[in-house]
A and B are shown apart, each in its own frame.
Chain A
Amino acid sequence: GDQVEQSPSALSLHEGTGSALRCNFTTTMRAVQWFRKNSRGSLINLFYLASGTKENGRLKSAFDSKERYSTLHIRDAQLEDSGTYFCAAKNTGGLSGKLTFGEGTQVTVIS
């Protein structure tokens, strides 16, 4: 079945620095979403991309369907950026709206 490989599984960043999370897909996906888990365990939408890049504040995401990957860049990391981030991809066929999730990246920002 469709698989989403998310890396790294954990990431430590010093305040003010940046890094990137990546998801590789085993098949062609038609869209990707990036989420962040809140304190209660639910998921907050960060980005939805069908192609190209989107930017929101210090976060930027890119999606390349042909090359089968998506990235989430964090720049100028702040303590409040700590948390678990997930990518989820929507496949091109099969069930409408079926999202396949990556296993998440635990981001820790340290001062």
Chain B
Amino acid sequence: AQTIHQWPVAEIKAVGSPLSLGCTIKGKSSPNLYWYWQATGGTLQQLFYSITVGQVESVVQLNLSASRPKDDQFILSTEKLLLSHSGFYLCAGEKDTQYFGPGTRLLVL
């Protein structure tokens, strides 16, 4: 069975500070991996996707970047957080069906 782990569970950060969110997926080899973001009260938006190690495609520009250093790992980061980065971040893995991780709640103050 496929399991997706995200870290941290939640974070409160200052504007201008760096951010790194992690996601690992176990149980599937070479899955497509995705980062989603949902602002409070907003719709879930796909941010990035990756079909293989080292290859990441951006879907929505939010002054964030993503990397896939390993087959089972997907990292979302930025060097300078904005207030608008607050929200709920979901990582998803896919082999036909997309399965979502538990999410990370981020509050930028």
Contact = CB atoms under 8 A, between A and B. Distances in A.
Interface of A: 31, 33, 35, 40-45, 48, 86, 88, 95-99, 101, 103
Determine the interface band of chain B, counting residues with CB < 8 A from chain A: 20 to 34
A45 B44 contact: no
A98 B51 contact: no
Contacts of A45: 97-100
Contact of B59 (A35, A43, A88, A98): A98
Interface of B: 32, 34, 38, 43-44, 46, 49, 51, 57, 59, 88, 90, 94, 96-103, 105
Nearest to B4: A42
Q: Which of B98, B99, B103 has the most CB of A within 10 A?
A: B98
Contacts of B102: 40, 42
Contacts of A43: 44, 90, 100
